Amino acid sequence: MKTLEWPKFIIKWGQLMHKITVVGAGYVGLVTGACLAEFGMKVACIDKNTAKINGLKKGKIPIYEPGLEELVEKHYYHKRLNFTTNIKNAVEESEVIFIAVDTPTKEDGGVDLSSVFQVAEDIAKYINGNKIIINKSTVPVGTAQKVKQTISDILLKKNINITFDVVANPEFLREGSAVNDFLKPDRIVLGVESKSAEKVMREVYGVLDGHGIPFIVTNLETAEMIKYAANAFLAIKITFINEVANLCEKVGADVKIVAAGMGMDHRISPEFLQPGPGYGGSCFPKDTKALAKTGRDNNVPLTLVEQTITANEVQKQRMIEKIYSNMGNLKGKTIGVLGITYKPETDDMREAPSLVILEGLVQKGASIKVYDPAGEKEGQWRFNHIKNNVVFCSNEYDAIKEADAILILTDWSQFKHMNLDYIKDQLRGNYFFDFRNMFDRKAMEAKGFQYYGVGR
């Protein structure tokens, strides 16, 4: 764990310790709370879900995130991190309040901000002195201003004269490496409206300031836009390489080498140029839709983003077609699926390509055997509607035993080290669909597999 590297700084900055409340003990809130405690702050994580809070107090972490459990345990033990359901006390006792609640997608692609405004109202209800209120949740441009207005209106109605600041401080955490991303970010983005708010925020992130991490200090709207533009750009980049991969297949090019050749141009970079079955997760699908809607609402259509959303859905369908067109009739065939989470090192299946692909394969008559190192619990209920055709297995070898084909949908590194000779022996057929390009075509063909990657 790299989280223990800065004890000297923690002691130094601990002297400047701020009392912080993080509202929302979900994925972002919990990582934020635990990491701010690591920075030397005194943090209360609050959530209305009593069972979750009680579980956290007993060291039960509701999500799978490498490094988080150790951090929570350490700081809970040292009383730097606490968990509560009492928002009144939490607001009263802290000067800095992070809002990190859920912002689900609405049917029209917009963002449901009801939880964010509920927290704003709660803060206004219990505010007892100057506070800095920070939006960490991913929210459309203009939300920080609306949060400010919501609180001001309530205070005005109650004739309360208390000053407060609203700050937009988006997160850039990737699931699976969120702790490390928080502790060692590429940049800190601060949308602020006063020098005093900037000063406190610089103290909160003081350890990073001390480590030379760049701070972008700007207005609220720009900070909010940076988050959406960054996620949409990455989604476009993945979609671009997915489409190039599809073309590579037709013209005899190898997308892996194409991506490597492109990535060596430092203006392009090799990151996020791995083709696959389509991007998933709770962020790219949601944020691209929200940004596209903001564009439509402002009469500035973001055509590239709109097209990316469509192309990503098409990519998942192409994967089904690729299996079907090569294997033929899938009735009575068994496919051993390795990986169902939207990416490795997480148990999260939100918008995972596996949701669409497995359903499509079952519709075409296939039976599925699944193994995922972390996804079974979520997979059990997400595939409940096709449960008669989906069996969960306890390891990769069980999942492929007597199957007609192997299908890799998530690039868990343990799959890279599978005993391929044994697998070949155990399989009934010899189809190998590697939709994360984990293996080398020639080596796989030499072992007797009919190998299909993406774009090669």
DSSP states along 232-251: HHHHHHHHHHHHHHHHHHHH
Stretch near ligand UGA under the rule CB under 6 A, chosen from 274-282, 374-382, 416-424, 437-445: 274-282
Is residue 138 a contact point for ligand UGA (CB under 6 A)?
yes
**283 or 444, CB closer to ligand UGA?**
283
**231 or 367, CB closer to ligand UGA?**
231
Instruction: Tell me how far apart the alpha carbons of residues 35 and 14 are, in angstroms, rounded to a whole number.
Output: 13
Per residue in 360-373, is it b (16+ CB within 10 Å) or e — as a string? bbbebebbbbbbbb
Taking the complex as a whole, the smallest distance from the CB of residue 231 to ligand UGA amounts, in Å, to 5
Is residue 375 a contact point for ligand UGA (CB under 6 A)?
no
Is residue 378 a contact point for ligand UGA (CB under 6 A)?
no
Active site residue ranges: 283
Taking the complex as a whole, the smallest distance from the CB of residue 58 to ligand UGA amounts, in Å, to 27
Rg (CA), the chain: 24
Task: Indicate which single residue of 276, 339, 375, 453 sits in contact with ligand UGA (rule: CB under 6 A).
Answer: 276
3-state class (DSSP) for residue 365: coil
Residues 285-324 that bind ligand UGA (CB under 6 A): 287
Which of 289, 356, 228 lies closest to 106 in space, CA to CA? 289
Please give the structure tokens belonging to residue 107.
């049917």
**186 or 402, CB closer to ligand UGA?**
186
* Paired residues of 20 in beta bridges: 43, 96
Residue 72, CA atoms < 13 Å, CB-side half-sphere: 27
Yes or no: say if 181 and 348 are a contact pair by the CB < 8 Å rule.
Answer: no
Is residue 26 a contact point for ligand UGA (CB under 6 A)?
no
**Is the Cα dihedral 240, 242, 243, 245 positive or negative?**
positive
Residues 201-240 that bind ligand UGA (CB under 6 A): 231, 234, 238
For ligand UGA, how many residues bind (rule: CB under 6 A)?
21
Taking the complex as a whole, the smallest distance from the CB of residue 317 to ligand UGA amounts, in Å, to 16
Which of 313, 302, 378 lies closest to 339 in space, CA to CA? 378
Is residue 32 a contact point for ligand UGA (CB under 6 A)?
no
* Paired residues of 44 in beta bridges: 21, 82
Is residue 280 a contact point for ligand UGA (CB under 6 A)?
yes
**116 or 427, CB closer to ligand UGA?**
116
Binding positions for ligand UGA, rule: CB under 6 A: 138, 171-175, 231, 234, 238, 272-274, 276, 279-281, 283-284, 287, 342-343
